[in-house]
Chains A and B, each alone.
Chain A
């Protein structure tokens, strides 16, 4: 049997290389061991994902620094993407961010808007829309800041962030300066979220900043301990770099914003490298709070004091560190109620050598990291970024999807176990707060494809009653994963229109109560990694063919629209109930 000499050599090498020493490095990684992987439950996952990017016409690569080496951290962080229906035709369009290359002009490296042709294909309308931009874009938030009925875009960048006003005719106008959002040029905006923090009916804006970065003065790989990873020279940081200051801008209701970072208390959090922002009501008091995933520093949770100010309580509430109180390199964040207890939970993605964090909301916005108990801690090999907690197979239980990709292309030659391009991670919710990883290609070969991914967004681009996935891959074209679900699973989509509250209904909570389960979601303007999802909330209903729908608008008022049949998109206008029902053919 296996007592061969070769077996010995294999065993010796595996044991030996596992003990390789890890020197000081720029990224926080607590070296968390992966938990044992349980035997398959046998519960089927009935979705299959197919990469339809080329068919859809998404052929242009997302440029972000060189592919084979990264001199600066600026080239590694990457960017997000969005599903947004910019022309209100009822079909999700695609907005992709982009970086560029240091000292190498690349006209083709631009943010891109793709119009949905309603036949599975998209047309590049970047030039026509006025969204052409060459620079280092990072994050995007979608929301109607002037309540004119058309979703606007806010884009964070290294340099000046940009507010694009949607003109309603397929074009956008850069209104950043006019809106009072100009900032010093060397700031590096990353996360951003439209949020009506003072509940006045106008969307305000929160922006997280990563660091103050200047390529002219930045250290080069290997120059000091924060520029090494396992003793290999790599780009420096974020440790050793100046931490970012975060900003809150109040919407004045006249197309302009006022910087209230100091008076709101946001300015007091000065020790973090901010990335993805998710604004939601975590303590169920009816007011939006703000969570910021932070790289190599404790994550932040700004709790709303109901008077225009915030208090930062990430640590006290258990979402700043992992369950053992260790610092992590947080990248992305997703928010949903994965265990159907009516409270919003948080998923945070982290660096390699760490597992994702799954912060279970115990009550009143106090969390416990349940990644291990939930079955997520079986994976610690990859740097994880964009993520979603959403029902991908319409069984009524929110699943988890995560994209991955390393930040150091240089290390793969010496450490083949740390490749640049890595697979997607899919965890099937099997009930009672437990997940099971779908391995290999059983949910489609596209899940196992290797890319260096960053942001991802969830939405139904083909209007067939499920959630498809759009993924940013650095220096490659994006991936569009079409979801095909076996028949027999019901669903419900809900589009919300605010009237007294903000028109985009961002921050509105929806509870869908069907015979099998009670699901709670909130409409978010950013999540995943620096990305924005389809604003039509999607609920899988499993075998249930109808459900009760209750809406809590952002002013705290509840509105129930009664029993609704499954398998349709309903539009609810604040105070008017259901104003539209659309049944789609699959």
Chain B
């Protein structure tokens, strides 16, 4: 479902880019190949064009698109980043955001999302593709803006839009609380929130008068929107942070309760309820709702992942494994599913299967560090020390400063009596630990 949306969204970029370029002769051939759907050939031709022409953001973006259509996501990201160095084309930024969100590179996508948020209101294709990313990346305040756009858009069913707003508001409230805790006076205001929680009260506004006395630019009827406008100028003010945490918490409650009243049978609402239960540690109830949804609405986004993660949190590796496998079948690029499968196999002690699953994934390109570590561990557990060493030495080339690799190699060399190599890895390990 989400994959189809992404492809549709990416496809809508083709004509825009191709018509907007002043195409040179040698790039025209690349364009023809691209239009004919010969992406591999197009990529080669674009590579040649990029190498022989002066830096062009549009050519680099086209090259990235050609990579993207072949599933070469890391190379696509490289091209988009190169394009943005030449010129900040909004479309390149959007394509890069799509790829980074798809690969769950949330720490690097946050600045992009911040720049894109306002443009989403005019882009019905991009909005459903990127909006989930705002809930997962560190963009709590931007998420509130996107929630408002979704509420007035027809791209998402109304019940889902309300749930989105509830989640975005919860994220924002958590963000404000964590910022509040960093301030010296934070604990004073946190006490008001705790007092409300402990008393079973929905009113956490007990500290409003204190906040207003502390910061006279605030007032009792402050709205969430007003508060967010004030935030850039007063980001370290505990009084504002406290009021924003309360206001966004209230907004979360209102959105979800509105959804509950208007759409009591919403599967999205049930999924949200299950997530809340899981977060509260009420795993059995959460599991019940999830399994019911798996029967009635298996197409719900993130459903299998959520259930798999619930089982993972309980150490139920054998139950999590098939769900991660189903998740991977639905989206072969989903790194979360690959990580989950690997972890399950290792935890189950099924080291042979882990090797079978991971080894082919480490043949091409730069493997992620966790995969290097998991595969080498699987070999090590089976007593196949030389193969474990081989995996780690290959990983060492990609991650030369990674202390975990040196640490493991050091012990494996000691175990196999290769003292000189163990000493060398020991030096590298210690070097990596120096600040």
**Interface residues, chain A, CB within 8 Å of chain B?**
1-17, 19-21, 35-39, 313, 315-318, 321, 324-325, 362-364, 366-368, 373, 378, 414
Contact = CB atoms under 8 A, between A and B. Distances in A.
A2 B253 contact: no
A316 B314 contact: no
Interface of B: 170, 173-174, 177-178, 180-182, 187, 190, 193-194, 196-197, 200-202, 204, 245, 249, 252-253, 256-257, 260, 273, 276-277, 279-280, 282, 285, 312-316, 346-347, 349, 380, 403-404, 406-407, 410-411, 414-415, 422, 426, 429-430, 433
B252 A8 contact: yes
A518 to B, nearest CB: 19
A315 B410 contact: yes
A325 B260 contact: no
A10 B178 contact: no
Which of B177, B204, B429 has the largest count of A CB atoms less than 10 A from its CB? B177
A368 B411 contact: yes
Contacts of B182: 21
A368 B380 CA distance: 10
A39 B257 CA distance: 34
Contacts of B204: 9
B193 A13 contact: yes
A317 B180 CA distance: 45
Nearest to A16: B177
B204 to A, nearest CB: 6
A313 B419 CA distance: 12
Contacts of B180: 16
Contacts of A39: 314-316
A43 to B, nearest CB: 15
Contact of A12 (B181, B249, B426): B249
**Dominant SS among interface residues on chain B:** helix
Given A12-B193, A373-B347, A6 B201 contact: yes
Contact of A37 (B177, B197, B314): B314
Contact of B280 (A2, A318, A373): A2
Contacts of B245: 12, 16
B315 A11 contact: no
Given A8-B252, A325-B433, 5 more contacts: A2-B282, A2-B285, A35-B315, A315-B430, A366-B415
Nearest to B385: A362
Nearest to A8: B253
A316 B174 contact: no
21 contacts: A1-B285, A6-B201, A8-B256, A13-B193, A15-B177, A16-B178, A16-B181, A19-B178, A21-B182, A37-B315, A38-B316, A315-B430, A316-B410, A317-B411, A317-B414, A318-B407, A321-B407, A324-B407, A325-B404, A362-B415, A363-B415
A534 B16 CA distance: 81
B197 A3 contact: no
Given A13-B197, A37-B315, A316-B410, A5 B202 contact: yes
Contact of A5 (B187, B253, B282, B414): B253
A9 B204 CA distance: 8
Given A16-B177, A21-B182, A9 B315 contact: no
B416 to A, nearest CB: 9
Contact of B177 (A3, A12, A315, A325): A12
Contact of B197 (A1, A6, A363, A368): A6
Which of A12, A14, A317 has the largest count of B CB atoms less than 10 A from its CB? A12
Nearest to A315: B426
Contacts of A5: 202, 253
A21 B277 CA distance: 26
A4 B277 CA distance: 12
Which of A10, A16, A19, A373 has the largest count of B CB atoms less than 10 A from its CB? A16
Nearest to B186: A20
Given A19-B178, A316-B414, A36 B256 contact: no
Contacts of A366: 411, 414-415
A10 B277 CA distance: 12
B230 to A, nearest CB: 20
A414 B194 CA distance: 13
B280 A3 contact: no
Given A1-B273, A9-B202, A36 B315 contact: yes
Contact of B279 (A11, A362, A367, A373): A11
A325 B276 contact: no
Contact of B257 (A1, A3, A13, A36): A3
B277 A2 contact: yes
Given A15-B174, A368-B411, A36 B181 contact: no
A5 B173 CA distance: 14
Contacts of A35: 315
Contact of A17 (B181, B253, B313): B181
Contacts of A6: 197, 200-202
A364 B385 CA distance: 14
Nearest to B279: A11
B170 A11 contact: yes
A15 B180 CA distance: 13
